[in-house]
Amino acid sequence: MRSSRLVMSYTGPLNGELITACLQLVHARLELSPLSVKRKKNIVNILIECLQNMQYHHAQNLLTEADLNECCVLMFLNKNSVLLECGNYVSVNQANQFSTRLRELNEMPAEDLHRRYLDTLDSGALSDQGGAGLGIMRMIKEAGHPITYSQEPVNNQCTFFWLHIKVPLAEKDYAMAESVAS
């Protein structure tokens, strides 16, 4: 148990107010820790993109159950990292598109990823949700580590899509970060 501590968890729908509440909770927990400001900012920046990504991309109108808009967010403190697990229901098409993009971006060297980010930003292209895929690039950059994913199929149209995001902690950060989960 000591090797992995749950710092924050949320299950439910997402809207602006609930995202704000999640961010405030994480911010407050992190403020209690002597993690570096840079690491705290990294974590919050990643969480912002994760939560808003889930808010915009979910399996609307595919099934009738009320919990289709539900998402799950978990933050763990492990020995050398913070782990952020974010999942929600998406369509199979959304999952395929997202996983294809993730695989491509994960394989890019940092410089190429940065160039792609700048080119996308400069192009002025925006998705319906206003992001143009910049959020994924930012998450990978902020994490400094490839983002993995997994899926739990629900039916032919819908799947529960998980992002597994690891933010490495330096040894100095870890020694101080123990206090976050205590």
Partner 1 sequence: MEKMHIQSTATTPRIDFNPETGEFEISGKSLPENSYDFFQPLHDFVEKYSVQPAPQTHLIFKLEYFNTSSTSHFLKLMKRLERVSEKGSNASVTWYYDSDDDDMRDAGEDFKLLSRLPIEIIATSFGDNTN
Binding footprint of partner 1 on the chain (CB under 8 A): 15-16, 19-20, 23-24, 36-38, 41-42, 44-45, 48-49, 52, 55, 117-118, 121-122, 124, 126, 129-132, 134-135, 137-138, 142
Long-range residue pairs from 117-124, CB within 8 A, at least 24 positions apart, any chain: 117/141
Taking the complex as a whole, the smallest distance from the CB of residue 112 to partner 1 amounts, in Å, to 15
User: Which helix or strand (DSSP H or E) is residue 35 part of?
Assistant: none
Taking the complex as a whole, the smallest distance from the CB of residue 174 to partner 1 amounts, in Å, to 19
Q: Which residue, 33 or 159, is less far from partner 1 as judged by CB?
A: 33
All residues at 6 or more sequence positions from 124 whose CB lies less than 8 Å from its CB, including other chains: none
Residue 163 class from Cβ within 10 Å (0-12 exposed, 13-18 middle, 19+ buried)?
buried
Taking the complex as a whole, the smallest distance from the CB of residue 126 to partner 1 amounts, in Å, to 6
Q: Which residue, 5 or 138, is less far from partner 1 as judged by CB?
A: 138
Residue 173 class from Cβ within 10 Å (0-12 exposed, 13-18 middle, 19+ buried)?
buried
The type of residue at 122 is D
Cα–Cα distance for residue pair 59/160, rounded to 1 Å? 9
Taking the complex as a whole, the smallest distance from the CB of residue 133 to partner 1 amounts, in Å, to 9
Cα–Cα distance for residue pair 86/106, rounded to 1 Å? 17
Q: Which residue, 6 or 121, is less far from partner 1 as judged by CB?
A: 121
Taking the complex as a whole, the smallest distance from the CB of residue 12 to partner 1 amounts, in Å, to 16
Contact 119, 105 (CB under 8 A): no
Q: Which residue, 23 or 154, is less far from partner 1 as judged by CB?
A: 23
Q: Which residue, 12 or 130, is less far from partner 1 as judged by CB?
A: 130
Q: Which residue, 108 or 154, is less far from partner 1 as judged by CB?
A: 108
Taking the complex as a whole, the smallest distance from the CB of residue 118 to partner 1 amounts, in Å, to 6
